[in-house]
Structure 1
């Protein structure tokens, strides 16, 4: 059933991992899809072709999350091309770390700029024309609620910020029935966090199931939050 037919969804960082899987699930439910990418136009066009195979309209837009002040222009172009954005999936982000006595300020600023500032400016731009009843789904991290290891204070802080913004925006936007939730996955098998990575055994040990999750498992939750069955869920951490 095409429960999202007639709606436009924007998935930031939508060319791989959780972003690509989420875009596909939303497209499969009938939504028109805009994805953003930072570097590889070829990968973006491949993803657009995959989405178009579901008989929906899809487009890719180059966007630099490290320059959050530039993102409203990208949003304006998407709205011009595909119509008002009813579903926003703030997925673009970066992982990085360093001990507090060693991490450079410019690295701190880059992590916060991409993980928090870009999310903020994108959301503000989308809200200018988002219809009442829209959905905002922020992709956070389990590290946004607990610190599992040393050396990740800045990344953790960025994801704590995402969780805090989510809860506050849920209240800010309740009068418009715009629902805002955050998905905080544990270790997910992506290019940024491979199952066979340096700390993969440690990461698996933190999970009850003893394995990495897969992008499609997170995407299923994103699609649920975007759909009609989630009409009474807002300000939630999942």
Structure 2
């Protein structure tokens, strides 16, 4: 099979950015960062499957996208640690949308516990969601992308360095996501599938704030200082979910067609 990555130099900027006619699956998209990503993909014209453990909330987000942007959208219940759950949810998404062209592995967790206090089960669960979920999602996506596509893995600045005490499992899992992104890009290019990572710094979302507060308390820090403690932004503010969503949109679009295997830092200079 030839490498079907076209030269799009003659395309207009609106055409390069447009996702009209493409079908996207976003995991962990019922709230927070995943929801923001789904919103931008839908605004760019993509049909979107909102995949989440909370199926009712996912369905509500899907209805909102259709109302706002006039695109087909569907909410599906999905557990990214369960291959059967992923396949069943994707079957529903494909039935509703017609296929899959973009897959965003966004679902993740970061419970905090010192290494010596963390149980084997808790450690394994972090890897099951953060790394296994990426593997499971990518594997499902490949079987559905008959004409090529894009897989985008949400990593973290924690995939580039150590971070707060108590997050050894999280940091390790996100380093693994970066490695998996490189290897998937190598293996999937002949199928016409690009694979990219996006690595945000701390962004305040419902889930992130709750887990970050727990991590700070475990480290003996004051959760009320969370924004300043969790980021070292060089742009004068903490990032918001849409900051990351716009980077994901770039990766999904033909603006980034020359890119595969990279993990883009969306970190306001935090890791310099």
Shorter-chain TM-score bucket reads over 0.9
**Cα–Cα, structure 1 residues 210 and 101, in superposed 2: closer, same or farther, change >3 Å?**
farther
CA contact (8 A) 2:104 2:152 kept: yes
Superposed counterparts of 1:77-156, under 5 Å: 77-156=92-171
Once the two structures are superposed, residues 83-130 of structure 1 have per-residue CA deviations (whole angstroms, 9 ceiling, x without a partner) of 221000110111112111110111111111111112211211121120
Q: Give the equivalent residue in structure 2 for 1:200.
A: 227
The alpha carbon displacement at 1:68 in A equals 4.2
Of 45, 49, 52, 2:66 maps to 52
Once the two structures are superposed, residues 145-165 of structure 1 have per-residue CA deviations (whole angstroms, 9 ceiling, x without a partner) of 100222111001111111110
Residue 36 of structure 1 aligns to a residue whose secondary structure is strand
CA contact (8 A) 1:166 1:235 kept: yes
RMSD: 1.8
Segments of 5+ residues of structure 1 without an aligned counterpart are none
For residues 173 and 214 of structure 1, what CA distance do their matches in structure 2 show?
31
For residues 232 and 27 of structure 1, what CA distance do their matches in structure 2 show?
23
For residues 255 and 207 of structure 2, what CA distance do their matches in structure 1 show?
31
Q: Give the equivalent residue in structure 2 for 1:20.
A: 35
CA contact (8 A) 1:71 1:118 kept: no
How many residues matched? 236
Bigger radius of gyration: 2
CA contact (8 A) 1:68 1:113 kept: no
The alpha carbon displacement at 1:210 in A equals 4.7
CA contact (8 A) 1:8 1:33 kept: yes
Give the TM-score, by structure 2 length: 0.81
Once superposed, which parts of structure 1, at least 4 consecutive aligned residues long, lie more than 6 Å away? Answer: none
CA contact (8 A) 2:50 2:59 kept: no
**Cα–Cα, structure 1 residues 76 and 26, in superposed 2: closer, same or farther, change >3 Å?**
same
Superposed counterparts of 1:55-74, under 5 Å: 55-74=70-89
Matched, 1:163 2:178: yes
User: Greater helix share, 1 or 2?
Assistant: 2
For residues 78 and 48 of structure 2, what CA distance do their matches in structure 1 show?
15
For residues 69 and 111 of structure 1, what CA distance do their matches in structure 2 show?
19
Matched, 1:237 2:267: no
